[in-house]
Amino acid sequence: MLVFSKQKLVFLSVPKTGTTAWQAALGRHASMVVTDPPELKHAPVFRYNRFFRPALEKFVGEGLDVMAVMREPVSWLGSWYRYRQRPFLDGHANSTAGISFDNFVEAYLKGQTPGFANVGAQSKFLEPTRNGTAITHLFRYEDQAAIIGFLQDRLQCAITLERYNASAKAASGPQLSEDVERRLRRKFSPDFALWNGIGADGAYVPVPEASI
């Protein structure tokens, strides 16, 4: 998570959307950079609302904008799948070594998700809270130019983005069978609807019926 107090902007770090690269590129411009522990670095909206927003509004002022980046849901799961194939995780319950992408997503769809497929959902990360705390600017990971343009205009600085922690990736990336993808789109329809609703200017349709 990055906080820019003068610009009254908070950048939440959705996992697997280039967060380490953004922190490296923008850290020197930020008033606060939260890198550890992961639960705070990747604080979702509800955790930001509970632990960070009250203090920031007290010392920075109200009217903070909150931005985030969302990745196309199948691509997002593909990034998690590749990330957990690292040799470092061999023998660990979270490893996806020897597991097909179809099997990974099928496990993700289960009610009791096994550890290797327990990665949460972007729609839940971005879900507004009942008190109205919500993302005000949401960008597609695939539209890096829009993200950079918004941040350069808001922060009034040039931005050079490099890749960090990139997972090993085949040329075409992992592929889902039609049946598994259809089931994924049905069960996690809020994620696909949210990603499809993102505009080029960062406008989006919030996830309805917040449960937090």
The pLDDT confidence band at residue 205, using thresholds 50, 70 and 90, is low
pLDDT attached to residue 79: 96
User: Domain range spanning residue 107?
Assistant: 2-196
pLDDT attached to residue 210: 41
pLDDT attached to residue 201: 81
Q: Count CB neighbours of 204 within 10 A.
A: 22
211 lies in a domain?
A: no
201 lies in a domain?
A: no
pLDDT attached to residue 165: 54
C-alpha span between 53 and 133 (Å, rounded): 9
Mean pLDDT across the stretch 43-66? 95
pLDDT attached to residue 211: 39
Q: How many domains does the chain have?
A: 1
161 lies in a domain?
A: yes
Edge-to-edge strands, sheet with 137-140: 32-33, 2-4, 9-11, 65-70, 137-140
Number of residues that make up the chain: 212
The gap between the terminal CA atoms of the chain, to the nearest Å, is 20
pLDDT attached to residue 174: 85
66 lies in a domain?
A: yes
**191 vs 111 pLDDT, higher one:** 191
9 lies in a domain?
A: yes
CATH of the domain at 39: 3.40.50.300
What separation in angstroms does the CA of 145 have from each of 46, 66, 142? 28, 19, 9
12 lies in a domain?
A: yes
pLDDT attached to residue 189: 95
209 lies in a domain?
A: no
